[in-house]
């Protein structure tokens, strides 16, 4: 089968080129139509599916000259999401012809709204194209179904890479230029909810010469956002407490951690949207105005995670707090409302040992009078 009918996301040339590992200029694509079929979003997902629909017509593209390697790469990319290759007859400018098409295996996914490529490109195109790069790092040895199970985290990491492109100041540090880093190899030896990637590369030294080739590994997660709710009228903050596997794995004498409200930034979200959502989920409160604290890498020598921290004005009357968290995520969270002065004492005694919370409390201590005066 040397011809495929493509619909939905694979009609986005940059994505198709990434999956096939070929330049866009090498892709031979011609417009095509498949009668008695329609394309709809899969409910709750970032991709569509095609299904029989008498009288409808599915618009798409025919990919010509599909060799064994291209077929294998496409089978791998589509296979993890429950799609298998079927045979159909499509209409092209040259007339009807046979083509393969990736169709959802039963049970068929729940269809959502009618698919529009331009709408998907505007919201998801760049994120999904970057996500395909991580998906294809597992080709051919990794089970493609693992990609589907971890796809939301893959999307979140792709969205983080897009945010990372935003210009950042370089007044003291060395500015990064396009030719400062030469990568020789990239692999992903571990991939689950989190991932580990290894790189072989060299980089420019401060004296202008090239460094020797080095091998480095990075622990991959999504970006995160934290928020410390503050009631200016009561001069009180809301802290959450939960069991954390990090202290447990380290053998810490205390495995319950006092923290700011926090969460991973979902694909398509802003950090501000994330903290407002997490405040409801973790503490059952609605946040008022947000104040940006800092954005930072907690451990840039080993982790890709970038954290956006905020302080939020909020009404924290007596009785606010208690137990919360999402049962679906096995969260067991207790919220405390305490005077800011006590929270700062907990930093000094070491009972608060969570970096985002420490940074947010120190920022708040410096800015509390301004917030109270404007409240």
Assess whether 45 carries a catalytic annotation. no
Q: Cα angle vertex 94, ends 93, 95, to 5°?
A: 90
Q: How far is CA 246 from the centre of its chain?
A: 22
HSE value, Cβ hemisphere, 13 Å, CA-based, for 271? 24
Residues 200, 186: Cα–Cα separation, whole Å? 7
Phi, psi of 42 (to 5 degrees): -80, 125
- Length of the chain in terms of residues written: 375
Residues 296, 224: Cα–Cα separation, whole Å? 10
- Which of 134, 329, 331, 369 is the catalytic position? 329
Q: Return all residues near 367 (Cβ < 8 A) that are at least 6 apart.
A: 291, 311
The dihedral sign for the CA sequence 159, 161, 162, 163: positive
Q: Cα angle vertex 147, ends 145, 151, to 5°?
A: 125
Q: Is 108 helix (H, G, I), strand (E, B) or coil?
A: coil
* E strands in 47-94: 48-64, 83-92
Q: Is 286 helix (H, G, I), strand (E, B) or coil?
A: coil
211 token code pair? 């460094």
Residues 19, 129: Cα–Cα separation, whole Å? 9
- Count the neighbouring beta carbons within 10 Å of the beta carbon of residue 120: 19
Residues 188, 197: Cα–Cα separation, whole Å? 4
Give residue 208's region: left, alpha or beta (phi > 0; psi -120 to 50): left
- Count the neighbouring beta carbons within 10 Å of the beta carbon of residue 286: 12
Would you please indicate which residues are annotated as catalytic (active-site) residues? 329
């Amino acid at each position: 089968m040397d011809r495929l009918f493509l619909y939905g996301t694979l009609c986005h040339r940059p994505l198709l080129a990434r999956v096939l590992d070929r330049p866009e200029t090498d892709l031979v694509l011609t417009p095509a139509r498949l009668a008695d079929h329609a394309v709809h979003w899969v409910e709750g997902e970032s991709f569509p599916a095609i299904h029989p629909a008498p009288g409808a017509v599915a618009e798409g593209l025919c990919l010509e000259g599909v060799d064994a390697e291209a077929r294998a790469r496409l089978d791998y990319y589509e296979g993890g999401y429950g799609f298998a290759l079927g045979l159909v007859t499509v209409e092209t400018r040259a007339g009807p012809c046979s083509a393969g098409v990736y169709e959802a295996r039963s049970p068929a996914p729940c269809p959502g709204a009618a698919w529009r490529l331009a709408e998907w490109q505007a919201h998801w195109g760049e994120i999904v194209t970057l996500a395909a790069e991580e998906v294809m790092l597992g080709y051919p040895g990794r089970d493609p179904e693992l990609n589907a199970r971890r796809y939301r985290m893959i999307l979140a990491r792709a969205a983080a890479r897009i945010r990372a492109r935003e210009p950042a100041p370089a007044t003291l540090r060395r500015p990064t230029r396009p030719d400062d880093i030469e990568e020789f190899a990239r692999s992903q030896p571990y991939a689950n909810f989190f991932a580990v990637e290894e790189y072989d590369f060299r980089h420019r030294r401060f004296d202008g010469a090239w460094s020797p080739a080095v091998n480095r590994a990075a622990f991959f997660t999504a970006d995160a956002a934290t928020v410390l709710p503050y009631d200016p009228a009561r001069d009180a903050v809301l802290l959450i407490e939960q069991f954390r596997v990090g202290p447990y794995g380290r053998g810490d004498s205390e495995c319950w951690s006092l923290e700011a409200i926090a969460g991973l930034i979902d694909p398509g979200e802003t950090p501000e949207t994330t903290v407002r959502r997490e405040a409801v989920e973790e503490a059952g409160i609605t946040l008022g105005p947000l104040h940006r604290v800092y954005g930072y890498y907690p451990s840039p020598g080993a982790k890709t995670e970038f954290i956006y921290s905020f302080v939020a004005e909020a009404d924290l009357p007596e009785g606010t707090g208690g137990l919360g968290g999402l049962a679906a995520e096995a969260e067991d969270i207790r919220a405390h409302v305490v005077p800011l002065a006590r929270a700062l004492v907990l930093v000094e005694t070491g009972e608060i040992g969570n970096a985002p919370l420490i940074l947010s409390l120190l920022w708040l201590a410096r800015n509390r009078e301004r917030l109270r005066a404007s409240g």
